[in-house]
Structure 1
């Protein structure tokens, strides 16, 4: 390949929406020469052309973790430092993966960019998603590392007692990975990224969202990983987290409504456009203005609750699905998110099989 084509491909990878005239100006070539190079690269399959996609079919691109979930549920009161009888359930997991499956079950176009090992677990996880219609093209498949795992220890009521996460493979979703997968993200209406991603990758996604005017939804995964977000939130359309993660982000306790409102105002000053706070049984608080509104969850018989794993991911997926259709209705999006979370609470699976496109009607 000629030097000009190498340089042109690099420019297209960094900005898939760049015009032929901009390419010609930056490379010192004629526009016809640029057109010839693009035609040849398209013929070679190295680029797919500009993504003229109808808005209704623009994909939601999810970026982040995929792993194997193992859930151990105690049959009686759990005693630390001792052996406890339990039941075991194994299922697919990972925040970005879970959100992608929820969205696919709702009938939405979704693309997942993730990292798995080239082992039996990783290949099975990708095959399950592809069978549901999730596009996984561009995802990293490592030959030298095992697929990640998440082991949750639950009490007899299904509440999380302890979780152990082996997610090192997600660290390979670095800025180089972003450059390689730029064509997969280019047609997206929404980007949904979890905070398992390295900080440099999150920085790149925020910059990319500002440049392309794409909508970026970030979802927290744990209090320790809030440090990956950094102080500059420009380019983040929506941040979804719980009260503990918000406290970790702002570095102080948030004991009442006034403190929560103050934290939200500080995040707005940092560039964040909208916020959703999961507040346990009270529901969610949400805002895209000065105040934080509280939305209660739908009624749910406590006896129907199986366990909590995946409920937060279902809520985020519901929010993303609703905003994909109507980006201005945050309250309606939170209401759908709470409905999906309630369905997941009543399932042993991390993603409820009761989800269907009918929920979006």
Structure 2
């Protein structure tokens, strides 16, 4: 699907009875061009017959963490063992939940399976997911258990100073529960999850579903990354940072050559795609076909909150895969999504959209 076809598809999805002339006016193109693009969408199977009946959409399913994020950003340099004046905010978070919300805001159909407690945080997570357009109906609730929570302290520049999480409720998820959801999981086009899941669940997802459905994984942290070492060959797409990459590959990375060698080690084990987050230096991508890309966008003058950048990046990679972007387009799109995320004070930028990402890309490439 081309970019223009995608724009027309999304308009038709929202307004199935719209006239071609109205689409042309919205996109500032001719009606005849719209007709050609619609014909192409019909040939490709995205539009079925007359009346713009869309085929049942492919969807992405997230399996992993959902929690409440509490962020505090210091107004001045942080003084340890003292009370530091700052600004506080809270919102629903969790890596897989954040990826899912970004996907929903981009317009991709997404469903989430997570574990919640039975407290007020669970209500906040549920309400924010529903409001964002995430299908939340397949998650599990653990009675008399707190929901996952995450607290981060950001320095005066918006970068993380220290963080702590309690994700113990996620450890209650097991393969028996997931097998009860096998219909919804097997029907997904892609699965995205995080390494905060129990080891037996990560392995089970890859063994039961991974051979048919590509699985995308975010290691989350160096501690969780350890879980991926024995199963990395079953993963389709991995998005680590440099430190997590060192843990999974078992190699010290001090140069770009080291990074390529470490990527080779994982790709030789069966991993198909790897996107290594390099902070201000952008991203390094490599795949099993030997394609290598290292790219960065122009940095923001002021980063507002670094917490959600990686989650937006992963969501953009999944969106790009869903809509058949090529590798170069995917890397650019994902980098721009990350910039769009860190320009907002919360974990999720509520303005996240394809248009916003394209605008960022125009300004920063």
- The TM-score, its normalising length taken from structure 1, stands at 0.80
Any conservation in 2 of the 1:100–1:317 contact (CA below 8 Å)?
A: yes
Do the aligned partners of 1:70 and 1:151 also contact (CA within 8 Å) in 2?
yes
Determine the C-alpha separation between the residues in 1 that align with 2:143 and 2:209.
31
Task: Report deviation, 1:76.
Answer: 1.2
Gaps of 5+ in 1: 1-53
Q: Which residue of 1 aligns with 2:117?
A: 117
- Kept after mapping to 1: 8 A contact 2:74/2:153: yes
Over 3 Å counting, the alpha-carbon distance change for 1:291 and 1:356 in structure 2 is: closer
User: Which runs of structure 2 are paired with 1:56-135 in the superposition (5 Å)?
Assistant: 57-135=57-135
Is the 1:226–1:249 contact (alpha carbons within 8 Å) kept by the matching residues of 2?
yes
Deviation at 1:192, TM superposition (A): 0.4
Post-superposition CA distance 1:128-185 (Å, at most 9, x none): 2122221112201111211111100110100101001111111122222221221221
Q: 1:331 aligns with which of 319, 323, 328?
A: 328
Residue 354 of structure 1, aligned match among 351, 355, 358: 351
Alpha-carbon distance in 2 for matches of 1:123, 1:178: 22
Q: Distance in 2 between matches of 1:359 and 1:343?
A: 7
Cα distance in 1 for partners of 2:263, 2:56 equals 32
Tell me the CA shift for residue 355 of structure 1: 1.2
State the distance in 1 between where 2:154 and 2:273 align. Answer: 32
Q: CA deviation at 1:261?
A: 1.1
Cα deviation per residue 1:294-321 (whole Å; 9 max; x = unaligned)?
Answer: 0212x24323x21101111001101111
2:338 and 2:55 map into 1 onto residues whose CA distance is 27
Task: State whether structure 2 residue 339 is matched by structure 1 residue 317.
Answer: no
Unaligned runs of 5+ in 2: 1-53, 359-365
* Alignment partners' CA distance in 2, 1:79 and 1:103: 38
Could you tell me whether the CA contact under 8 Å between 2:305 and 2:347 is conserved in 1? no
Q: Please report how far the alpha carbon of residue 56 of structure 1 lies from its aligned counterpart in structure 2 after TM superposition.
A: 6.5
Counting only pairs closer than 5 Å after superposition, residues 138-153 of structure 1 correspond to structure 2 as: 138-153=138-153
- Residue 340 of structure 2 aligns with which residue? 343
1:214-259 CA distances to partner (integer Å, 9 max, x unpaired)?
Answer: 1111111001111111323333111011101101112231001111
- Tell me the residue number matched to 1:51: none
Q: Distance in 1 between matches of 2:188 and 2:78?
A: 45
* Cross-structure match for 1:247: 246
Contact 1:64 1:196 in 2 (8 A): yes
Deviation beyond 6 Å, 4+ runs, structure 1: none
Equivalent residue, structure 2, for 1:136: 136
Partners of 1:238 and 1:306 lie apart in 2 by: 28
What SS is found at the alignment partner of 1:144? coil
Shift of 1:334: 1.9
Greater shift, 222-231 or 151-160, is seen at 222-231
Q: Which segment is superposed worse, 91-100 or 329-338?
A: 329-338
Q: Is the 8 A contact 1:106 1:359 kept in 2?
A: no
Partner of 2:73: helix, strand, or coil?
strand
Does residue 171 of structure 2 align to residue 171 of structure 1? yes
Please, what TM-score do these two structures have when normalized by structure 2? 0.79
Q: Which residue of 2 aligns with 1:265?
A: 264
Given that residues 206 and 233 in structure 1 are in contact (C-alpha distance below 8 angstroms), is that contact kept between their aligned partners in structure 2? no
Distance 2:317 2:128 in 1: 23
CA contact (8 A) 2:92 2:124 kept: no
Work out the number of aligned pairs and report it: 304
1:142/1:93 Cα in 2 relative to 1: closer, same or farther (>3 Å)? Answer: same
